[in-house]
């Protein structure tokens, strides 16, 4: 038996405003006032100011013909995207609210300072030629940005970056990182995760699995429950190869009412209607998820910056003391040389000793840069030891020291790269940064967790 609701088209009601603007302002203030000085001084990429703000965003991924565009039209309440069995679009489409129907190309999108997509410019002209923004006057889009993507080619050896002309996996990774929700669609014809789908799961989404919703779409096309069970099992089996968790994540089994193939079927859609409603509710709550993502992302960045800056400053302090010792020895030798040459130059031993002291003192001053570079290279080769030295107390106090060590492993390449690039004279060591690092730690342990608990 099939319910009437499944056979009649429905339109997603407009999303409620749930942007958490107060939280966004607090996040923006902490980001700019507290983290930005560290990012600029210690060479830690923080992104542009606009990246911290924007509409709640949902990125839709999946094989072509998996129903991404149809579901997007369902969410928007209008036919914004073309649909069909064959691939209808080979680019990324940003879908947002606008008072009038308009379309902007990718170059205009990344150049618009009012949009948080400026960082996409780094992927080059080939990608921008495959990016566009559609604005539509649909109420459901007032508090939501949807991103449609090219259909993934589910055959090994196809859909490579070279065939697309740009770094597709990197683009997906960047969009998934900035999105608040990533919805990955599968359909009955392609329930596997081979080829490009597998590469996207393993290479682009591994760090954002907490944002990922897996959707088994078009379930109204199954003729009976046995056909559904067989294909659903195949999907679960294939997902187990790429989702590195003990249990398979929840899979939403969905369909868009009014878009079935019209084939005769005996499968009951009532439970699938509930799953479809659940998915819509998850998307409708993306504003609340956005607040959590914003604060969580800032908290992760703050922890990384703290570890990075603490280790860098420690190296800077060591270099400062090494320079001070070298110059102190050089100054002492020059004083001794001056005293010997001034008062004991008639004595051959005094003259000789004065000249030797003079030469060594001047030599030390000239060789300071070389000696400090050797010191820096030595510390770079033992950077793990530097980290454990700096954070020895915290590593002992924490119940699970692997958390802090995990942060270090994630920032160590950037720390080493910065120290190599900045050289011996540019490494920050001022006591001012010690005070600021204490403020940063206080924000990590108090201010940011309070934002996570803040209610609008």
Residues 6 or more apart whose Cβ sits within 8 Å of residue 403: none
Q: Give the pLDDT score at 344.
A: 81
pLDDT exceeds cutoff 90 at 332: yes
Distance (Å, whole) CA 308 – CA 273: 49
* pLDDT at position 315 over 50: yes
- For residue 188, pLDDT over 90 is answered with no
In this structure, of 68-82, 195-209, 371-385, 404-418, the range with the lowest mean pLDDT score is 195-209
For a pLDDT cut of 70, what percent of the chain falls above it?
85
Q: Cα–Cα distance between 171 and 71 in angstroms, integer?
A: 22
> Please, which pLDDT band fits residue 401 given cuts at 50, 70 and 90?
confident
- What proportion of the chain, given as a percentage, has pLDDT over 90? 34
Q: How far apart are CA 284 and CA 276, in angstroms?
A: 12
Instruction: Indicate yes or no: pTM above 0.75.
Output: no
- Lowest-pLDDT choice from 48-52, 57-61, 185-189, 289-293: 48-52
Contact 321, 346 (CB under 8 A): no
Mean pLDDT confidence for 151-159: 59
pLDDT reading at 294 higher than 60: yes
- Determine the pLDDT at residue 378: 93
Alpha carbon distances (Å) from 154 to 62, 169, 175, 191, 433: 9, 15, 21, 10, 51
Given a cut of 60, whether residue 10 has pLDDT beyond it is no
The residue with tokens 């930005």 is 36
Find, among 204, 192, 209, 198, the residue nearest to 168 by Cα: 204
HSE, side-chain direction, 13 A CA sphere, residue 266: 4
Q: What is the pLDDT of residue 362?
A: 92
In this structure, the number of other CB atoms found within 10 A of the CB of residue 73 comes to 24
Q: If 0-12 CB within 10 Å is exposed, 13-18 middle and 19+ buried, where does residue 44 land?
A: buried
Q: What is the mean pLDDT of residues 370-380?
A: 93
Residue 339's alpha-carbon distances to 288, 335, 342, in angstroms, are: 75, 6, 5
The predicted structure's pLDDT at residue 159: 47
**Of 297-301, 307-311, 375-379, the least confident:** 297-301
Place of tokens 């205009």: 108
Determine the Cα–Cα distance for residues 304 and 245; give it in Å rounded to an integer: 25
The pLDDT confidence band at residue 81, using thresholds 50, 70 and 90, is confident
Q: Is residue 261 predicted with pLDDT exceeding 70?
A: no
Residue 99 pLDDT > 80, yes or no?
yes
Tell me the average pLDDT across 4-9: 39
pLDDT for res 415: 94
pLDDT at res. 194: 54
Of the candidates 135, 43, 28, 152, the one whose C-alpha atom is nearest the C-alpha of residue 90 is 152
Lowest mean pLDDT among 32-36, 282-286, 361-365, 398-402: 398-402
Q: What is the mean pLDDT of residues 251-265?
A: 74
Q: What was the pLDDT predicted at 136?
A: 92
Measured torsion, CA atoms of residues 312, 314, 320, 323, in degrees rounded to the nearest 10: -90
- Listed in order, strand segments (DSSP E) in 120-202 are 131-136, 145-148, 181-186
Q: Backbone phi, then psi, for 9, in 5-degree steps?
A: -65, 140
- For strands 57-62 and 181-186, give the pairing: parallel
Decide if pLDDT at 231 tops 70. Answer: yes
Q: Does residue 159 sit in helix, strand or coil? A: coil
Average pLDDT over every residue of 374-381: 93
DSSP states of 13-24:
PPPPP---HHHH
* Cβ–Cβ < 8 Å for 152, 61: yes
The answer, yes or no, to whether residue 196 has pLDDT greater than 80, is no
Distance of CA 165 to the CA centre of its chain: 23
Query: Which tens digits make up the pLDDT trace of 422-456?
Result: 888 889 988 899 999 999 999 998 888 888 776 44
Residue 11 binned pLDDT confidence (cut-offs 50, 70, 90): very low
Instruction: Name which of 61-75, 147-161, 166-180, 386-400 the model is least confident about.
Output: 147-161
CB atoms within 10 A of CB 68: 29
Q: Higher pLDDT residue, 345 or 123?
A: 123
Give pLDDT, residue 439.
Answer: 93
How is residue 12 annotated by DSSP? P
pLDDT band at 379 (very low <50, low <70, confident <90, very high): very high
Average of per-residue pLDDT across 328-357: 87
Q: What is the pLDDT, as a whole number, of residue 5? A: 38
Question: Which residue, among 199, 205, 195, 204, has the nearest Cα to 154 in the 3D structure?
Answer: 195
Tell me which residue of 346, 340, 375, 345 sits closest to 360, measured CA to CA. Answer: 340
pLDDT at residue 20 is higher than 70: no
* Residue of 16 and 251 predicted with greater confidence: 251
Residue of 297 and 51 predicted with greater confidence: 297
Q: Whole-angstrom Cα distance, residue 50 to residue 64?
A: 32
Q: Could you give the CA distance from residue 53 to residue 386 in angstroms, rounded to a whole number?
A: 36
DSSP string for residues in 399-447 = S-HHHHHHHHHHHHHHHHHHHHHH-TTS----HHHHHHHHHHHHIIIII
pLDDT of residue 246: 64
Mean pLDDT, residues 210-220 taken together: 89
By C-alpha distance, which of 105, 310, 80, 83 is closest to 218? 83
* Residue 317 CB-half CA count within 13 A: 13
How buried is residue 249: exposed, middle or buried, by Cβ count under 10 Å (0-12/13-18/19+)? Answer: middle
């Amino acid at each position: 038996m099939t319910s009437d609701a499944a056979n009649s088209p429905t339109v997603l009601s407009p999303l409620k405003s749930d942007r958490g603007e107060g939280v966004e302002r607090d996040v923006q203030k902490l980001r700019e006032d507290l983290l930005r000085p560290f990012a600029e001084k210690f060479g830690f990429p923080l992104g542009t100011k606009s990246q911290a703000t924007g509409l709640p965003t949902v990125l839709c991924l999946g094989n072509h013909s998996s129903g991404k565009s149809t579901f997007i039209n369902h969410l928007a309440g209008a036919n914004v995207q073309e649909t069909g069995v064959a691939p209808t679009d080979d680019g990324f489409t940003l879908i947002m609210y606008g008072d009038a129907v308009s379309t902007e190309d990718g170059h205009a999108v990344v150049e618009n300072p009012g949009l948080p997509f400026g960082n996409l410019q780094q992927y080059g002209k080939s990608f921008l030629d495959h990016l566009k923004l559609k604005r539509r006057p649909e109420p459901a889009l007032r508090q939501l940005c949807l991103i449609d993507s090219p259909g993934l080619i589910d055959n090994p050896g196809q859909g490579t970056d070279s065939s697309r002309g740009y770094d597709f996996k990197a683009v997906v990774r960047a969009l998934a990182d900035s999105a608040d929700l990533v919805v990955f669609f599968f359909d009955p014809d392609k329930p596997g995760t081979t080829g490009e789908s597998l590469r996207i799961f393993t290479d682009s989404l591994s760090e954002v699995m907490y944002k990922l919703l897996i959707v088994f779409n078009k379930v109204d096309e199954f003729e009976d429950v046995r056909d559904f069970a067989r294909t659903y099992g195949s999907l679960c089996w294939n997902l187990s190869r790429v989702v590195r968790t003990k249990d398979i994540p929840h899979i939403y089994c969905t369909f868009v009412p009014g878009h079935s193939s019209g084939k005769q079927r005996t499968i009951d859609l009532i439970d699938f209607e509930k799953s479809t409603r659940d998915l819509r509710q998850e998307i409708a709550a993306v504003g609340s998820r956005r607040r959590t993502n914003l604060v969580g992302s800032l908290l992760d960045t703050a922890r990384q910056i703290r570890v990075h800056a603490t280790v860098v400053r420690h190296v800077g302090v060591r270099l400062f003391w090494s320079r001070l010792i070298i110059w102190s020895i050089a100054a002492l030798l020059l004083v001794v040389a001056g005293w010997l040459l001034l008062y004991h130059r008639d004595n051959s031993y005094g003259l000789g000793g004065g000249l030797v002291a003079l030469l060594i003192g001047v030599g030390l001053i000239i060789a300071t840069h070389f000696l400090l570079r050797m010191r820096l290279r030595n510390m770079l080769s033992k950077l793990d030891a530097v980290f454990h030295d700096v954070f020895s107390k915290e590593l002992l106090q924490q119940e699970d020291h692997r958390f802090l060590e995990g942060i270090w492993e994630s920032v160590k390449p950037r720390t080493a790269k910065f120290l190599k690039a900045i050289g011996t004279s540019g490494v920050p060591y001022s006591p001012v940064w010690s005070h600021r690092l204490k403020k940063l730690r206080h924000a990590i342990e108090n201010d940011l967790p309070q934002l996570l608990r803040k209610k609008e």
